[in-house]
Amino acid sequence: MAVKIKNRHRLKERDAKELAADLQTRFHSVFFKEKDTVDTGSVEEFTVILVNDSIDFIMYDNKVVFALQGITKYQPKNNFVVIDMGAVGFIVKGADVMAPGITEVDPMIQKGDSVWICDEKHRKPLATGIALMSGEEMKTKKPGKAVKTLHYVGDRFWMLTH
């Protein structure tokens, strides 16, 4: 399905370098190179960042977060939250991640960090979100919400781009 991207424009080389540096600092990995084309645009109400014509990131509250497509493409090794299989049905309906449903977590996550969520069996990305507590707090199964879900399999953005 062709996605209609409005207000699309190429990032200036300096802005693309800043974005790459920010992502590298947060995720300890290189996601795109200088020769890659980096654009921004809008898909309905979503502000997106495209790398080589692939929607890999979404802007949320002036923060760059992975789109699920970007997680699949780049396979980041950190900022992950692994949930038990019993929580999967809730997450793919947009529920926030509750700490007791977490089986494994990157201990380096800080409150406010962008994270990605996967299931313990297949390790497939299910959602992205913002950490509401640190990775250490999530590991101790402190009661309450651990991650505010922003984008998940089957949500409106997912349907627009798949």
Segment holding 27, helix H or strand E? helix 13-27
CATH classification number, 80-161, choose in 2.30.130.10, 3.30.750.200, 1.10.10.10, 2.60.40.10: 2.30.130.10
Average pLDDT over residues 82-109: 96
Whether the CB-CB separation of 130 and 162 falls below 8 Å is answered with no
The pLDDT tens digits of the residues spanning 39-79 come to: 999 998 899 999 999 999 999 888 889 999 999 999 999 99
The conformational region for residue 92 under phi > 0 = left, psi -120 to 50 = alpha, else beta, is alpha
pLDDT at 110: 96
The residues spanned by each domain of the chain are 6-74, 80-161
Judged against a pLDDT cut of 70, whether residue 13 lies above it is answered with yes
